[in-house]
Structure 1
């Protein structure tokens, strides 16, 4: 595992003080005049800066292969959604396949458009029947894709 802290990673603050033991998302990486890595971390509704030595990596942001695998995992679950209207039953797998093809191109507009359409279809389907066990797998993979889009594009 790459232990370098990068934008989009989740970190734990291990510096004693006000933010000790809080978890946040890295939103920026810079260096000061002494070439010390300075990391900007989003904590709840605020941003704070820390030296890299004051942070402990918790979770790396997902890479391209993990995101494509997440799309595949959602595709596997689509057939199990029984409350999809006919139009969405065709559109959802197609959109997921297009998203999978678009991800390596890193075209932010195209990826966001497809992801938003997928998310809307799944939100409506979830409202019709949210008790099914496969929603947990779909939701965790959607969250991973959303995190990657937010931090990588």
Structure 2
């Protein structure tokens, strides 16, 4: 794991004071006039500015490779969904494959459109059968993809 804090990472504030031991997501990284790395962290509904030395990295945002691997895992799980309507049996794997091709291009609108469609299909399918064991795997991978989209584009 790289120790360099970047946009999208989850950090713990280790500076004493109002935000001590709070966990937040990095929303931006900048440098001040003395070339000290300044990190803007979203803590709940607030944004606060810290020096990098006041933060401890908790979780790195997913890499491009991890997101592609997550799409592959979801594709494997989709094969286990027996109650998918015929149209979704075709559309869902196709949209996942397109998303996998679109992500390296970093086209935000295309990626977001495909991801939203995939999310809608899963939401409708979940209403039919939400107890299946594959949902946990699908949900964790969808969350990883969503996190990458939110913080990388």
Indicate whether the TM-score tops 0.5.
yes
TM bracket, shorter-chain basis? over 0.9
Aligned pairs, number = 153
Give 1:46's aligned residue. Answer: 46
Measured in 1, the distance between the counterparts of 2:52 and 2:143 equals 26
- After TM superposition, the structure 1 = structure 2 runs for residues 1-150 of structure 1, keeping only pairs within 5 Å, are 1-150=1-150
Q: How many angstroms apart in 1 are the aligned matches of 2:133 and 2:14?
A: 37
Greater than 3 Å deviation, 4+ residue runs: none
Unaligned runs of 5+ in 1: none
RMSD: 0.7
Structure 2: gaps spanning 5 or more residues: none
Give the TM-score normalised by structure 2.
0.98
Question: TM-score, normalised to structure 1's length?
Answer: 0.98
| Offset, 1:33 | 1.3
Cα deviations by residue, 1:56-109 (Å, 9 ceiling, x for unpaired): 000111111000000000000001112211101110000001111111111111
Distance 1:145 1:96 in 2: 11
